[in-house]
Amino acid sequence: MRRAGVYAIGLLFLFSAGLLDPVEARQEGSDNSNKLDTSVRRLISDVNPERISKHLFHLAKDPLPYRKLNLTLPGHEKNTLYEADDYLAGQLEAWGYRVEREGVQVQAFRRDTSKPKHAQYSPPKPEDPWYTAYNLYAEKKGRSHPEKIIVVLAHKDSPSWIDSPGAYDNAIGTVGVLEMACVLAEYTPESTIRFLLCNEEHTPWTSKTAAQKAKARGDDIVAVFNLDGIGAKTAEQTAAGKKTNVTAYTKPEGKRLAELMGEVNARYSIGLEQRTVERSQPGDDDGSFVLTGYPAAVINIGSWPYGDPNYHAEGDIPETCDIKNAAMTVQATLAAVVTIDRGL
């Protein structure tokens, strides 16, 4: 449906410019559509659950059980979040990306054990230590319209107030973004595809700085996909073998992205139980972009409301993650990104 819309606009322009007769134009449209399909099918078949699993266990179990600024493993020089940063940057660089680091001053949350387990984060006091947290950026410059930017992001840190490995929240989204970068390493996009690994379990969220700096530069961000808790769902859904994804949006521009997720899931037979939800207000790292004036921003998440029984708890471990489900969400996001890229 979306492709038809994009072609319709493109074709209208070409007719009015007297550049194509209708038969030629239809031919051209379907050629482009076939090329897009071939390209998407090839890319999504490259998504590799074993690689996703390997990175997930590295970041949420061994050698790094956590990714937080306020925890350094015994005998190690760097805190666990910096170690994770080095690992992630090393992978991206091995695939040919140049990685940029953007430092942001943050604090760890305090813990309030009187609150429910999933919500025990509480604001730090001014005298608590400050740390530099880094946003990591890698991108593929667009060939035709480098100024148009599609952002794919995930927060890479684990909860700073509790010793939770944060496997679903959000090592899984982090390795999902990493997998997309890996698969797209040899792809030449028409527009720029920017990967951002940020921090959201310390305060303030570093996605806010990322969005504000993009706005100050005048970046033309046409779509933002946040991967957070991909494949995470209720115990009942997991037991029933469900493969779920929810795309939540705030603005009409985000709704179009959410609908595209459903279209590509069907078109490429990805097999997700895919649904869309309108958020009552901007939230999570996609919300940082909405609040800064980039309304085409969505989150892909396994359930809504979030159903992971180990949310923000010590039991959020990689062994509970549905890697196959996460890989399917990566495939659908990849298909959506490439479809947008070719339609711009």
Contact positions toward Zn ion, by CB under 5 A?
Answer: 169
Nearer to Zn ion, 262 or 318 (CB): 318
Shortest separation between residue 200's beta carbon and Zn ion, angstroms = 7
Nearer to Zn ion, 2 or 155 (CB): 155
Nearer to Zn ion, 169 or 286 (CB): 169
Shortest separation between residue 209's beta carbon and Zn ion, angstroms = 18
Shortest separation between residue 169's beta carbon and Zn ion, angstroms = 4
The strand pairing partners of 221, in sequence order, are 149
Q: How far apart are the first and last CA of the chain?
A: 15
Please state, in angstroms and rounded to a whole number, the distance separating the CA atoms of residues 252 and 229. 23
Q: Is 127 exposed, middle or buried (0-12, 13-18, 19+ CB in 10 A)?
A: exposed
Shortest separation between residue 109's beta carbon and Zn ion, angstroms = 10
- Find out whether the peptide bond into 170 is cis, omega within 30 degrees of 0: yes
Give the DSSP letter string of 48-66: -HHHHHHHHHHHHTSS-S-
Residue number with the shortest CB distance to Zn ion?
169
Please state, in angstroms and rounded to a whole number, the distance separating the CA atoms of residues 75 and 266. 50
Shortest separation between residue 318's beta carbon and Zn ion, angstroms = 16
Nearest of 319, 271, 323, 279 to residue 299 by alpha carbon: 279
Nearer to Zn ion, 202 or 342 (CB): 202
Q: What angle do CA 244, 246, 249 make, to 5 degrees?
A: 170
Nearer to Zn ion, 162 or 260 (CB): 162
